[in-house]
Amino acid sequence: MALLGFLARGSRTGYELKALMERSVGFFFGASYGSIYPALKSLAGEGLVRVEEVVQSGRPNKKIYTITPEGRQRFRASLREEEPSGDVFRSEFLMHLFFGDEHDPRRLLELIGEYRSRCEARLERLRDVEEEFGKTMTPYQRMTLDFGLSHFRGRLEWIREVEDRLRSLAARDGPEQRQPRQEAQR
């Protein structure tokens, strides 16, 4: 259904749809080729999109998908009728942190550093999107972008505080006490 929404704003190939989705809704709705191509095929089978094949040399023929009037109708019907299911959130990183007292403190600091990098990178990409499209977005697209911006900013604030607490915990335990069990096991 998401694909229909994007196609309602202009005809695209599967490849273009993936790139477009990655930048716009990627942070809350991932989609791989393995899900996009089969979905487009089934939409075409239902007559919700039309396919126009453009012959190319040196690469597979381009397939430009265009939404049909039935597709538009179906899309709007799905917006009206579908109850969005609850957000899904899952974090293995937090599970590691949860069991932090069984962890090597240095490893923990390393893990959170990686976590921070990933958040920073994602925030950066959202800022790029803001600069590039900020003026042409609908107010609704703007709201979802703001969601992402505040999401990652909040996350980074929390990370900074956790790093401080982790460092003071490490200092309190003293440098000589670091990963005693790991040393003993060898």
- Choosing among its own copies, DNA, none, which partner's interface includes residue 55 (Cβ < 5 to 8 Å by kind)? none
For residue 170, the minimal CB distance to DNA (Å) is 31
# chain residues binding its own copies, by CB under 8 A: 60
Cβ neighbours around 87 below 10 Å, total: 6
What does 154 interact with, of DNA, its own copies, none (CB < 5 to 8 A by kind)? its own copies
Hey, which residues does 70 pair with through a beta bridge?
Answer: none
Residue 112 contacts residue 159 (beta carbons within 8 Å): yes
* Alpha-carbon span 108 to 92, nearest angstrom: 13
Binders of DNA among 38-97, rule CB under 7 A? 38, 40-41, 56-63
Long-range contact set of residues 56-65: C-beta below 8 Å, sequence gap at least 24:
62/13, 63/13, 63/14, 64/11, 64/12, 64/13, 65/7, 65/11, 65/12, 65/13, 65/14, 65/17, 65/40
Beta 62-67 vs 49-54: how paired, if at all?
antiparallel
How near is the Cβ of 31 to DNA at its closest, in Å?
6
The interface partner of residue 138, options being DNA, its own copies, none and the CB cut-off 5 to 8 Å by kind, is its own copies
Site string for its own copies, 109-138 (x = CB under 8 A): --x------x-------------------x
Q: Which range touches DNA (CB under 7 A), out of 7-15, 112-120, 162-170, 171-179?
A: 7-15
CB of 122 to DNA, least distance (A): 16
| Residues 8, 74 contacting (CB under 8 angstroms) | no
Where in 161-180 is the site for its own copies (CB under 8 A)? Answer: 161-162, 165, 169
CA 179 to CA 105: how far, in whole Å? 7
Interacting residues with its own copies (CB under 8 A): 2, 5, 8, 24-25, 27-30, 73, 75-76, 79-80, 82, 84-104, 107, 111, 118, 138-141, 143-144, 146-147, 150-151, 154-155, 157-158, 161-162, 165, 169, 181-182, 185
